């Protein structure tokens, strides 16, 4: 009798672990994000220009030694 209970307990643990693994495999790496939240595009993120202080999309910036600059107008000459 005790042996059957032990086997049942082991089977339950295995089933729970298998379920966890299956859920983890089905969920993509970014799946924890709330579905209502739009995925943030890193290129659309606004960053501050170290020269003029303007906020510009990160895709439009140019990296310099001390940060990011907003473009040709703020680049060092």
Can residue 60 be called a binding residue for Zn ion (CB under 5 A)? no
Q: Which is nearer to Zn ion, 39 or 76 (CB)?
A: 76
**Separation between Cα atoms, residue 48 and residue 13, nearest integer Å:** 52
**Separation between Cα atoms, residue 1 and residue 8, nearest integer Å:** 11
The single residue among 47, 51, 57, 64 that binds Zn ion, judged by CB under 5 A, is: 51
- Contact 68/57 with Cβ under 8 angstroms? no
Q: Which is nearer to Zn ion, 36 or 72 (CB)?
A: 72
Alpha helices in the chain (DSSP H): 2-26
Can residue 61 be called a binding residue for Zn ion (CB under 5 A)? no
Q: Which is nearer to Zn ion, 11 or 68 (CB)?
A: 68
Binding-site ranges for Zn ion (CB under 5 A): 49, 51-52, 70, 74
């Amino acid at each position: 009798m005790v042996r059957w209970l032990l086997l049942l307990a082991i089977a339950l643990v295995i089933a729970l672990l298998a379920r966890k693994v299956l859920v983890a495999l089905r969920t993509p790496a970014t799946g924890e994000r709330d579905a209502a939240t739009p995925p943030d595009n890193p290129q659309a993120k606004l960053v501050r220009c170290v020269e003029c202080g303007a906020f510009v999309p990160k895709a439009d910036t140019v990296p310099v030694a001390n940060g990011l600059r907003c473009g040709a107008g703020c680049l060092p000459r």
